Chain A
Amino acid sequence: MRRSITKYFNSYTEAAPLAVFRIGFGILMLASIIRFYLNGWIEKLYITPKFHFSYYGFEWVKPLGDFTYLLFIVCGSAAFFVAIGYKYRIAIITFFLSFTYIELMDKTTYLNHYYFISILSFLLIFLPANAYFSLDAWKNSGKAFQKIPRWCIDSIKLLLAMVYFYAGLAKLNSDWLINAMPLKIWLPSKYDLPFFGDLMQQEWVPYVFSWSGMLYDLLIPFLLLYKRTRFVAFLAVIVFHVLTRVLFPIGMFPYIMIISALIFFSPKVHHQILNKISLWFNINKVKFDNNLLFNKSRNRKFKISVVAIFFLVQLLFPWRYLLYPNELFWTEEGFRFSWRVMLMEKAGYAEFKVVDADSGKRFYVNNSDFLTPFQEKQMSFQPDFILQYAHFLADHFRKEGHSNIEVYVESYVGLNGRKSKPYISADVNLLNFDDSFKHKTFILPFYDEIKGL
């Protein structure tokens, strides 16, 4: 056992797949950043709002005013440098830090996809993605290696497999499989799709989509790993992600997943891709084909341990929800960072009441005075948002001269087609609570049951 592990970590493979992955990743990230800017989202999401929802423990990460644009420029340039493989290590570290900083600025914009990018770029810091077909390797033949340790490529496969598999596990619940929720709500609203519009109205369609989505997520990693099913699996990857792109506002993610899935193919395929690129840009690819094995670097043990710990954390983190009572979909305690995608049609309505305990004066808060519509929407069904906002309101009204303040919220949440129900105890002064990882006792019970994971 021990020997086979040592043997595994000493085995080598072609660096080409990782080089293709690096190029694809860099270009798509650059495109994402540019798209983000062109959509006016930097302004809308990070500059306009007067108040930002922070992640617990990361309250110090805030947008930088107009310098936020600079942050995006840094992030985009780093992505470009990653793509061409120039000063790769610095570039990927810069990308990881700037991208993660952007994501931490306001949790209103949280998407599993962004989290995926963050941790993927973290992993890439420890992989020699510039060993082959990069500017670094071109300029310095001492850094050029045609072969790299096998685990480097396998670690990306493992991360992709994990994302899919956990997303599949998360679909093993009664709302998704038995009630075909939330697809039963979402699909009929796509009545104007060319060709498929009428199909989306059929009652059986959401069930087919739910079950095949679940099977796809659970099986695709294995089908991609197994040589004989790989090609068909890749077709499925394309069809699946194209479909999600057509049906939902899902941004760049489908493209990222399609390009990423290429990593499962044999080095031969990647050499062909690189040949194509060489042809277009007139690059002498032969120069990289030096048949050299990647130098065992001094900190190899350190790298492997970091990557091992990284995967251990990734493996365990999605299960943390088991430590909390009540229904996960309802409380969302342990919901994020767990590959739970597209599982809920959830919306809320939260009206805050401020009471001045000295004068007995009470009044409601006009949320649009403080929050953008998007922030208000996200706030109204997530308890940690509600709590943070309550504290913000208290600070605001204290500054306005109210001294002994209490903040209450009357809130309703509707989940996966259920009629909306009261969400937070209306008679609890939210200021008595501070945010923490502990269970939030002011969340009212769900009054229903969702079976499964």
Chain B
Amino acid sequence: MKKFSRILIVASLIFTACSSEDEGSGNSEVDTFDRGAMLENWADNIIVPSFDNFKSSTQQLEDLTIAFTSNPSEENLVALRSQFESSYLNFQTVAMFDIGKAEELNYRRFLNTYPLATSEVESKIAGGSYNLELPSSFTEQGFPALDYLLNGLGETDAEIVAKYSSENYRNYLLDVSKRINSLTTEVNSSWQADYRDTFISSTSSSSTGSVDKFTNKYIMYYETFLRSGKIGYPAGAFTGTPSPINVEAYYSADLSKKLYLQSLKTTQDFFNGKYFNTSQTGKSYKQYLEFLEKGDLANDIISQFGTINSQATNLDDSFKSQVETNNTLMLVAFDELQKQVVLLKLDMVQALSISINYVDSDGD
């Protein structure tokens, strides 16, 4: 019996020693894939530079909004609009990184929830009092609000500018623009401060480790925001009826396809481990799959990205007119995007042995 109790004690010691959550350090063995290095590449060469770049962009956006609201001229409107378009495009390079501060702040939902609740926006402008920090105001701010305020208030630039003789319009526009900039500043500085280290040091294989966690985010972004948000909902893939109002940047003339392509490029570059704004590449999913002898799968994914891109050349610059004139092409785009979901969410995740479900239940 004594022997037994001793064995049981030793066994339970092993239990506690091994099953305690261990953050673990990056493996530096030659024959193992270095996830720490992959996380470093993600952070240092992709995420941080993207946010840094976007931060300057939203700063300029705020500056030009101030210029416009202090002097609402057509010239200033044109300058602001062009900055808006470039910032919206830049947003597509960071939208995917819904982790850390961005996740905590609901960053993406504040910056880009569409369609915009136009009547709410109008009544808030008319009332002159509002709180853009409330979660209930997701649909009343961000880029969709700017899109409306800069393009949707009148037929001509003169008509739009005329609206800004009202102080309420000027204030709202400025508040929306400032909020985009301040939220971005917050997220950017958390990456500049200690979040980068937190992110890359969390190499654990559990669902709380950075690789698992971000891969879930990556696939969710691809499926929900790229496939459904930019193509599926406008095309009515889930209702059977095309819905132009669901187009991203609905009030801009030819922006929606550019946004789509930029978002697509971001997911594609991320898969390949391509640095932000340079052609260099580092470790990412592609290299990870190749290490696991799943080079075929990596090639399939890359070639599907190619197919999606070439299909996109058939699409109208304005998705609004695309769904109104020939929605079939939008549905074809959806189907091509869909094929990639299967490769990413099913094959890739299985190969990497990452759990895609957020429920922590037992297994057999």
- Chain B, interface size category, equals 35 or more
- Would A113 and B364 count as touching, CB distance under 8 A? yes
Binary A-proximity of B233-244 (CB < 8 A = 1, otherwise 0): 000111111000
Contact partners of A242 in chain B: CB under 8 A = 11, 14-15, 18
Known: A201-B31, A341-B364, A374-B357. A192 touches B22 (CB 8 A): yes
- Considering only residues 216-266 of chain B, those with a C-beta below 8 Å from chain A are 228, 232, 236-241
A44 to B342 Cα, complex, angstroms: 26
Q: B72 near A: Cβ within 8 Å? A: no
> Which of A141-149, A156-164, A244-252, A320-328 is the interface stretch?
A244-252
A412 CB contacts on chain B under 8 angstroms? 342, 346
Bound CA span A373–B207, Å: 14
* Complex-state Cα separation, A113 to B363, whole angstroms: 9
Q: How far is the CA of A113 from the CA of B29 in the complex (A)?
A: 37
Contact B240 A361 (CB under 8 A): yes
The complex places the Cα of A167 from the Cα of B65 at a distance, in Å, of 68
What is the CB-to-nearest-CB distance from A271 to chain B, in angstroms, rounded to a whole number? Answer: 9
Contacts of B204 in A (CB 8 A): 192
Q: A111-B364, A414-B346 are in contact. List 12 more A-B contacts (CB 8 A).
A: A188-B353, A191-B35, A192-B203, A192-B206, A201-B27, A202-B31, A246-B15, A269-B4, A347-B346, A364-B237, A373-B359, A419-B347
Kindly state the interface size class of chain A when it binds its partner. Answer: 35 or more
Chain B hits for A361, CB < 8 A: 240-241
Per-residue contact bits, chain A 90-122, to B (CB 8 Å; 1 contact, 0 not): 000000000000000000010111000000000
Do A198 and B29 touch (CB < 8 A)?
yes
Residue of chain B at shortest CB distance from A372: B359
Of B31, B206, B359, which contacts A44 at CB under 8 A?
B359
Chain B residue, CB-CB nearest to A270: B1
* Minimum CB–CB distance for B199 against chain A, Å: 16
A235 located at the interface, meaning its Cβ lies under 8 Å from any Cβ of chain B in the complex: yes
A330-379 contacts to B (CB < 8 Å): 341-342, 345, 347-349, 351, 356, 361-366, 372-374, 376-377
Report A-chain residues with C-beta under 8 Å of the C-beta of B358. Answer: 373-374
Closest to B35 in A: A191
List residues of chain A with CB within 8 A of the CB of B232.
364
User: Is B351 in contact with chain A by the CB < 8 A criterion?
Assistant: yes
CB under 8 Å from chain A, chain B span 309-364: 338, 341-343, 345-347, 349-354, 356-364
Q: Are A363 and B361 in contact (CB under 8 A)?
A: no
Q: How far is the CB of A31 from chain B (nearest CB, A)?
A: 14
Rounded to whole angstroms, the CA-CA distance of A341 and B209 in the bound complex is: 26
Contact, CB under 8 Å: B359 / A250: no
Residue of B nearest to A196 (CB): B18
> Which residue on A lies nearest to B356, using beta carbons?
A377
The answer to whether B306 has its CB under 8 Å from any CB of chain A is no
11 A–B contacts from the bound complex (CB under 8 Å): A191-B33, A192-B24, A198-B29, A245-B15, A246-B18, A250-B364, A273-B1, A361-B241, A364-B232, A366-B238, A373-B357
- Chain B residues with CB under 8 A of A202: 31
Is there an interface contact between A365 and B350, defined as CB atoms closer than 8 Å?
no
Known: A201-B29, A246-B19. A276 touches B351 (CB 8 A): no
Within the assembled complex, what's the spacing in Å between the Cα atoms of A253 and B192? 45
A41–B361 touching, CB < 8 Å: yes
